[in-house]
Amino acid sequence: MFELNETHDPALKSWIASANDPGDFPLQNLPFGVFRRKGQNEAFRVGVAIGDQVLDISAAQTAGVFSGPAARAAAACSAPALNAFMAMGPAAWSALRFALSQILRQNSPLADRLHGCLVAQNHAEHALPAHIGDYSDFYASIHHATSVGRLMRPDNPLLPNYKWVPIAYHGRGSSIRVSGQEFRRPIGQILPPGAQAPVVVPSKRIDYELELGVFIGAGNELGDRIAIGDAEAHVFGLCLLNDWSARDIQAWEYQPLGPFLAKSFATTISPWIVTLEALAPYRLPWNHPSGDPQPLSYLDSPMVRSAGAIDIELEVLIETARMRRAGEAPQTLSRSNFRHAYWSVFQMLTHHTLNGCNLASGDLLGSGTQSGPTAAEAGSLLELTVGGKQPLMLANGETRSFLDDGDAVIMRGWCEKADYARIGFGELVGRVMPADGA
């Protein structure tokens, strides 16, 4: 398990002044991403967010500010994706994080060498932080599973396997894009209410899902299992994830094999990966309620019980086209927290490999929609509007059961607690556009 160390010290300040102001990217965070200067025809490269700046890792390496294991780790960041660095494992991740913390601190003798290695975040554009070979999406919120189940099976909302097994489906990695994604409203086969035959039309029930993404660091060989006690060493970090859903397509197609075209048209992630080490101060005990089945032995460990949960505040907002034209601020739809997850990140990963399935560096796991125990903490419109039957009234007088063309969904996440620095994930933004030909 990642231990607290001097990189988490809340008293640390940076020579980059904006990193000392309240915000997502203080010196204690140092999340990784892939960027280039906006509008420039240059290669994407690995960077670290610090205040309102991005530190170009390759440029810093060329400036000679790293040595030893940190230099070897920085060299792995010379590619336009993080996979090689992710594959190096926790020792390399920690070495580079520690070196970055040192060179970016106030009074660092290397500051003068690094000024030319910075790019303002508002002058940067992002690519996916890693090549995502595979994507699996879990269903780890019992509150979401129960709410959605109640809409379909009022008398039996939660299926009997839910409290025993971390459920997931194999998603579509090719349609994952970074924040800023605009996608066309999908067309699909839908069975209208009361109809005897389906029709092929644009979806009318586009929804978001408030999730966290888990990036795999070092993978495992086909046929090998990752034990729960080793799972933490295979998690590089977390990002925000919006698993867009076409609920009307989903309702017709999901039986008996689950999501397909209702999910594969778009998934959006935030550009920055917050490392598991940066999240160490915000770990919490994890447990199942005493009346529920306790995890089977392969999903149980002292580490999971003492620190398997992570205290991450989550927020989802909407900006309609009308709000945008009027210059109005986006409106918050709900708030939740990842600590409510029924299954931990480490149990998801361990279960994924139980049958010998091989995970690779850069593979992505979705947490599933992260809804909390109250109605106001729902992570999707499907829950907030009770299946579309109770439309939301927005502050400007508009109503929404599901998303309209031009609607942008904004997701935010952050960690904060007394005696530690607040760290954040940045924003995830995606927008629904009219269907092809509409």
Q: Classify each residue of 204-225 as buried b or exposed e, where b means 16 or more C-beta atoms within 10 Å of its C-beta.
A: bbbbbbbbbbbbbbbbbeeeeb
Specify the pairing of strand 235-242 against strand 199-202. unpaired
> How far is Cα 126 from Cα 181, in angstroms, rounded to an integer?
11
> How far is Cα 314 from Cα 240, in angstroms, rounded to an integer?
9
Taking a C-beta distance cutoff of 8 angstroms, is the pair 121, 54 a contact?
yes
Task: Please choose, from the candidates 420, 308, 312, the residue with its C-alpha nearest in 3D space to the C-alpha of residue 8.
Answer: 420
Angle in degrees, CA 328, 332, 333, rounded to 5: 125
Match 């149980």 to its residue by tokens. Answer: 300
Taking a C-beta distance cutoff of 8 angstroms, is the pair 54, 77 a contact?
no
Taking a C-beta distance cutoff of 8 angstroms, is the pair 381, 245 a contact?
no
> How far is Cα 263 from Cα 124, in angstroms, rounded to an integer?
29
What's the chain's length in residues?
Answer: 438
Taking a C-beta distance cutoff of 8 angstroms, is the pair 240, 212 a contact?
yes
> How far is Cα 278 from Cα 14, in angstroms, rounded to an integer?
16
Quote the tokens at residue 56: 């170009």
- Segment holding 84, helix H or strand E: helix 83-87
> How far is Cα 333 from Cα 381, in angstroms, rounded to an integer?
9
> How far is Cα 144 from Cα 136, in angstroms, rounded to an integer?
18
> How far is Cα 330 from Cα 231, in angstroms, rounded to an integer?
38
> How far is Cα 31 from Cα 367, in angstroms, rounded to an integer?
19
Set 8, 126, 143, 144: catalytic member: 144
Taking a C-beta distance cutoff of 8 angstroms, is the pair 66, 153 a contact?
no
Q: Is 234 a catalytic residue?
A: no
Alpha helices (H) in 273-424, listed in sequence order:
302-307, 321-326, 345-352, 381-384
Catalytically active residues, by annotation? 144
